[in-house]
Structures are given as structure tokens and as C-alpha cells.
Structure 1
Amino acid sequence: MYKQLLFLALLADCKSQQSPTLDPFHYDPKAYDRVRIHYQIKGNGDTTLVFIHGWNLDHTYWQPQALHFASCYRLVLLDLAGCGASGTNRTHWTVESFARDITRIIHKERLEKVVLVAHSLGGEIALEVAAANPQAVIGIIGVDNLKNVGMTIQEGDEKGIQAYGQEFMATYPKMAEAMAPDMILSKDSAVIQRIVQSYRQADPRIAVPTLLNLCPKAAAAKHKLGQMPFAMQFIMCTNTPCDEAALKTYCQHGYRIVRLDSCGHFPMIERPRAFNQALHELLRG
């Protein structure tokens, strides 16, 4: 049951010296450890696409999109804290902290007309960023996330999820390595190995608290969706179901979905051409 909740959170949809002490259900959302965030800015255009990668990944997973969209848009490609070349000296591995990192970039670079292209757990992060930057963010394109925004977590589930987190910590990277192939449909061995390697090499002291924190944030995403002043847009992969009725209920300004088949949870590298076409379609409105 708790494995399923964690997996749903990932779809609802990293190197530390600290041991995870985060209670994912009871913590100070304003607690924030500022770290160095690695990011690149490429391309030119009136609209800025900020690419937010998923759990245990980094900005290089967007390389097929960077090559394709830089001629028409300004691009920001970043490594979330604890991933890639970004800093790791953080205690609070929360969705709120990741969002504040991105807000810092928006302010520092004075970004305007921002569309957040957010994969996996990036969906919950994007909702926080958009809520904090209503003048700058004009849209969100979720990539295979927020598929279960109607989900709820009962009070009695909390201890079970925390216990599963301890099990995950104790058996990482074996469990993470086993998890990755279940989310991939590509038969390309290089693609499979790349994702498995990213999961295997992630620091569990960052990866596990991040995933645990995603559980309550995924369950609360419905409330953030109702605050978005624009229609939500999604690129959804058909290998896992999407609770479209919940999106219809909570997306106050509507939503639009472009569906991709024959790929798993990582369409930007499993089917990059089809993904780029879908992203073009949504950006053009």
C-alpha cells in the first residue's frame, strides 16, 4: 500500500552529509537552507522555458529539448539542489525549498513570461513556483505528473509511509534500481541504463526524504491547482492512468492534455521527437 502511495506521489507527479530527520507530514514549510544552484541559460525569445527535472535526475535529461527549442525561446536548464552540479549542504529536502531555489533564479535573472516545463515531482515544485511568482509565470506544462490529484492520505497512513521510507533508506540503492525499469517502456538499452544509473547513484540521504515529502505535497496539489490563474497543460504518457475527472474538478481555468503512447515515465528521452512535437503544440496554444 505504501509503496503504491510513494509511486503515485512520484507520478503526481542528489549528495549530502546529513541524515534525514524530516517528518514529511509535520515540518516547517518556511525552513530553508540556501545552496548553490547550477543552471544554464540558452537561446533567445520573448518567452522563457524553465525546465524542471524529476526525482534523481539532472538538467541533461532535457538536452534533446535544449537543442530543439533554443532558436525560438530563452531556456533555463537547472539542476535541483542535491542533483547534478548543484549544492548538497541542505537539511530540509522539501518541495518548498526546491521551489524557492527556482524563485531565486527567476528574481536574479529578472525572468518574465515564464513557462515551467516540469517533469515528475517537478509538477508539485512548479505549482509552488507559480504561486510565488504570479507576475512572472504565465503557464505550466506538466510532464507525466499530477495524474492522481484526487488522491488522499489518511492520518493512519503516515506511520506506514514513514516506515516504508526507513526500509527504502536501508536497502537503497537496490530498491531504487529495481524501481526505475518499471517506469520505462523504451527498449533502448542506453536509455534504460542511463535512468537506472541515475537512480542507483543518487544519495539516499537526499533521495528518500525528497520522495517522502512528495507524498503530502501530491495529496495537497489539488488545492494549489485551484489557485493557478491559467489553464494547466500536460504531456501525459499512456502507460499509467490519469485521473482526468480530478483535473476537471480542480483546474479552475481548465486543462489540456497531449498524450504520448509507447513510452514510459521519461518521454523526453524515450521519445524525444514526439515529445518535442507535443511541447510545440502546447506552447503554440
Structure 2
Amino acid sequence: MLVIDTPEPHSRGVATSSDGVDIPYQIFGDGPETVLFVHGWCCDHSIWGDQIAALCSDYTVVALDLASHGSAGKRQNAWPMSSYVQDALAVVKAVNRPSWALVGHSLGGVLVAMLAAEMRAETAAVVVVDAIKRPDQTLPQQDADAMLDYLSVDWPRNVPAWLAEAAFTNKTSSEIVSYVERALGSADGTTAVEGLRDFLAQDHAKLLDAIRDIPVLLMNGAPPAPSADFFDAFHPDCKLVEFEGAGHFVMLERVEDFNRCLREELPKMFSAHLNESSPASREVLI
């Protein structure tokens, strides 16, 4: 069984989202720069435990639970991405730090790209983990609707088969598969399906174009992933790191490589923000 050990937080708090939902967060470490971790669909902050442990000695690390996830309050009958952005923005305002690296996985990756556009001056870096795809890699609306219908018919029964096809590779360990299946299988099916619906509708190219003045690091499983050349037209400072053989849950499947990459790249991105300079786009395979 996969066990993720999250360090004991220095403090805890609860922010209030724009619609009144309680959004709990935890703070680890007390470094001068701040890293926000946003979990993905049907998960919670604990999925980032290994990354929190790797960074909290050098940074102030903040991790939250989005509405209707983990220990957060429940949101009724509305699950647009914009509401999740407001959840994260409420935490940022409550913690009140001057400079942030925003790290998000999957739905959380799209969320942090949207969040950065709302807090441009405070955002030093955006790290998107296996969320941004080329237009030809996104699901056509008809296929997305069919997938959502399939999941909604019998969520606990159908989600494992869907995950096997969509999220894992033949190198993904059985422990990680079981961990993710438990997390998603225990989620509320309606919340899960409706939250996924708006996530799938997002235009990734437009998301990155809207934050073209902020350094972006894409950390993707490989294959498939967009090539770095794909981003040049609409984001001049985007670096792509691909983790060979990893599936969707890169931070679980390649923990040491993933954490090493974060430790190497975050200082550069914070420094570039401070000095208002940017490196050229690059592509790396790990």
C-alpha cells in the first residue's frame, strides 16, 4: 500500500471562498518565498506530501483542499473552474505573502494557470503538472460527453477501468494504481463528473497566452505530451520537462526526479521574477 507521509504543518487556517465555502489550508516551513500546491480532480492536499517534505526546509509551502474535496466545505450544484480559482485565491489572500510559485496537478494545473492571471504581480512562477495539452490531444466534445456519461452511470465501478486507460502506463506500480483508485472511487460521483466537465472544456492555448508574461514550467508524463515548439507562438517563457514512462500522476510515479526538478527550477524562476528576466523556452526528457 502506498503511504505518503506529509510533514506536520507549522500552522493551519480556513479561508472563505467567494461563495462562502470553507477552504482549509496548511502551512509548512517559513522560507522567504512561497509555494502553493493545488491538488487535482477528486484528490486532496495529501497527494503532495512528498513534495511538501522536499521543499518546506527552503520555502514557505501552502497546501489546500478545494471545495468538495478533502476536508473542505461542500459546494452545491455548481462546479465551474472559476469557483475553484476563487477557492485558491481566498487562501492566497488569507496567507498574504508577496511572491508565489503556483503548482497544480491536472485540474489543479489548469486552475493555477487561471489563478496566475488573477494575481499577476505576485506570481513568480506557474508549474503545471500533466494538464496542458495540444488542441489535437484534447477530447472532442462528443467524446467528452460520452466519457462523462459512462462515469456517471456507476461511478465507483467504472472509474477504475477509465483510469487504467487514461491515467496509467504499464510502468505505473500497483501501489500507485490502488492509491488513486481509492481516492477517486471514494469521491462523490456527481461532484466528480460535473467538476470534470468544465475542466475538459478549457482552452489550454488561451490559458497560457493569458499569462505569457509569467514563467511557466510544464512537468508531464511522456508520452504523449506537447512539444516545446507548440508553445512558442503564445508563450515565450515556457519550459517543458517530460518524465519518460510516467503516467498522469507524475509526482507519485517519479518522486525523486520530480522533486529534484522542482528544487532546480523554482530558484531560477523566483530569481527571474525578482530580476524581471526570463530564460528561453526549452524541452527536457528525464
With structure 2 as the length reference, what TM-score do the two structures score?
A: 0.80
Report whether the alignment pairs 1:171 with 2:167: no
> What are the superposed Cα offsets for residues 174-223 of structure 1, whole Å, 9 maximum, x if unpaired?
22111223322345332221011112111111000111111221xx2322
Aligned to 1:190: 175
Q: Secondary structure in 2 aligned to 1:180?
A: helix
Pairs within 5 Å for 1:186-225: 186-217=171-202, 220-225=203-208
Distance 1:159 1:180, change over 3 A: closer
Report whether the alignment pairs 1:265 with 2:248: yes
CA–CA separation in structure 1 for the residues paired with 2:76 and 2:120: 27
Distance 1:245 1:161, change over 3 A: same
Q: Structure 2: where are the runs of 5+ without partners?
A: 1-17, 269-286
Q: CA deviation at 1:79?
A: 1.2
Q: Secondary structure in 2 aligned to 1:46?
A: coil
Determine if contact 2:34/2:101 at 8 Å carries over to the other structure. yes
> What are the superposed Cα offsets for residues 124-178 of structure 1, whole Å, 9 maximum, x if unpaired?
211221111112212101111212256678xxx6566445433321121222111
Q: Structure 1: where are the runs of 5+ without partners?
A: 1-31
Determine if contact 2:36/2:100 at 8 Å carries over to the other structure. yes
Aligned to 1:16: none
Determine if contact 1:47/1:74 at 8 Å carries over to the other structure. yes
Distance 1:163 1:33, change over 3 A: farther
Percent same amino acid at aligned positions?
Answer: 26
CA–CA separation in structure 1 for the residues paired with 2:162 and 2:143: 19
Report whether the alignment pairs 1:73 with 2:59: yes
Report whether the alignment pairs 1:249 with 2:233: yes
Q: CA deviation at 1:273?
A: 0.8
Of 206, 211, 214, 1:230 maps to 214
Q: Secondary structure in 2 aligned to 1:141?
A: strand
CA–CA separation in structure 2 for the residues paired with 1:256 and 1:158: 29
Q: Secondary structure in 2 aligned to 1:264?
A: coil
Report the number of matched residues.
249
Q: CA deviation at 1:91?
A: 2.2
Instruction: Look up the equivalent residue of 2:223 and give its one-letter code.
Output: N
Aligned to 1:275: 258
Aligned to 1:52: 38
Instruction: Look up the equivalent residue of 1:280 and give its one-letter code.
Output: R
Distance 1:40 1:167, change over 3 A: same
Determine if contact 1:127/1:224 at 8 Å carries over to the other structure. yes
Determine if contact 2:216/2:239 at 8 Å carries over to the other structure. yes
Aligned to 1:135: 121
Pairs within 5 Å for 1:32-181: 33-149=19-135, 158=141, 161-162=144-145, 164-181=147-164
Where relative contact order (Cα < 8 A, 6+ residues apart) is larger, the structure is 1
Q: Secondary structure in 2 aligned to 1:90?
A: coil
Q: Secondary structure in 2 aligned to 1:129?
A: helix
Determine if contact 2:123/2:214 at 8 Å carries over to the other structure. no
CA–CA separation in structure 2 for the residues paired with 1:271 and 1:241: 16
Q: Secondary structure in 2 aligned to 1:135?
A: helix
CA–CA separation in structure 2 for the residues paired with 1:209 and 1:189: 28
Q: Secondary structure in 1 aligned to 2:205?
A: helix
